Structure 1
Amino acid sequence: MPKISHRETPFSLAYGTEAMIPVEIGSPTPRTQLTKEENEDDLRINLNFAEERREAAARRETEYKKKMERYYNSRVREVKFKVGNLVLRENEANMQENQGKLGPRWEGSYQVIWAGDKGAYKLAYHIGEEVPCTWNAMQLRKYYA
Structure 2
Amino acid sequence: MSKSLHPEIKQFKSFVRNNPHVLRDVKNESKTLQDLFEEWKLFGEEDDIWDSYLETSENEDSNEKEAEKDKSDSTKDIDVLNMLKKMNLNDLQHHLGQFTTVIGSVQELIGQFKQQQPSQTQTPPPPERPSSFFGFRED
Say whether the fold is shared (TM-score over 0.5). Answer: no
Larger Rg: 2
Q: Which has the higher contact order (CA 8 A, sep 6+)?
A: 1
Instruction: Say which structure is richer in strand.
Output: 1
Instruction: Say which structure is richer in helix.
Output: 2
TM score, norm. by length of structure 1: 0.31
TM score, norm. by length of structure 2: 0.33
